[in-house]
Structure 1
Amino acid sequence: MTTQHQITDAELQAFAAEAAAQPRCAECTPLWRPGWESMSAAAGTDHLALLGALGSEASWEQLEEFHPAGTNLWSPDAPIAPGWHPYTRSTLWRCARCSGAFLRYTEYGGYYLEERIRPLWADLIVRR
């Protein structure tokens, strides 16, 4: 894991609020889906800029997920829970045109790597 700016709780909330207040641009509209999507199935992401990481090297090995309401990783209403997997391995990306904010992480399976993306929904952010 390379060292990146560590996104604070306040920054995460601010980016989520700004993203919610703006209409989507044409490039972000196809990415604005309710849950995690495979990047191979997603539209282009070249217009997004990396802002930083939600996790740190210390949290990288945290693989436990947070689903208090019985959701799962793929649930559209699954909480965005910094401090829990996959957010410990996620980075925050933002569109300069519409302020759309997205989380990205790479799933490391036994025989594959899969890049995933999810919009940053303000009302789904939870803390421990």
Structure 2
Amino acid sequence: MKTDKKLDFEELMQLARESAEVTRSCSCAAESFREWTRIPVSFPNQQMRVAGTLLDDPYTEATYAECHPNGTNYWSVDAPIALRHFPYNRCSLLQCTVCGRCYLSYVEAGGYYVEPRIRELDPRLIVDAECDS
């Protein structure tokens, strides 16, 4: 489940708009994915395909700077999906092969653990600009 296709802003927005229009029920859908969440064991990974990556250059260390211009934080439901900032600059885009919903995913690597995380791709929150926070 890997692809190195770098998604540009328009491709990402198109997938986000299509994902937001999905209304059918599916085992991948969960209200708790609106903010960054640990991928639960029950998540149907077998239904996911990697639609692309947001990583610019795999040989250059991406920034760890976050973007929160309106007082949000990493865990906020309304935190911007700031493509040039952490953790979005390290994400893969997963798309459900059953319903078409899209999710951002990356692996958080802490001191003694790794934790795969997921967040729904909400087109209203996507920004492709530098951040002042």
Q: CA deviation at 1:31?
A: 6.3
For the 8 Å contact 2:82–2:88, the answer to whether it is kept is yes
Q: Which runs of 5 or more structure 2 residues have no equivalent in the other structure?
A: none
Q: Distance in 2 between matches of 1:92 and 1:59?
A: 20
For the 8 Å contact 2:105–2:118, the answer to whether it is kept is yes
For the 8 Å contact 2:26–2:99, the answer to whether it is kept is no
Q: Distance in 2 between matches of 1:77 and 1:41?
A: 25
* Aligned amino acid, residue 128 of structure 2: R
Quick check: 115-124 or 35-44, which moved more?
35-44
2:37 alignment partner in structure 1: 37
2:81 alignment partner in structure 1: 80
Secondary structure of the corresponding residue to residue 94 of structure 1: strand
1:104 alignment partner in structure 2: 105
Q: CA deviation at 1:41?
A: 5.9
Secondary structure of the corresponding residue to residue 16 of structure 1: helix
For the 8 Å contact 1:5–1:53, the answer to whether it is kept is yes
Q: Name the Cα RMSD after superposition.
A: 2.0
Give the TM-score, by structure 1 length.
Answer: 0.89
Give the TM-score, by structure 2 length.
Answer: 0.86
* Aligned amino acid, residue 30 of structure 2: P
| 1:18 and 2:14 correspond | no
1:117 alignment partner in structure 2: 118
* Aligned amino acid, residue 97 of structure 1: V
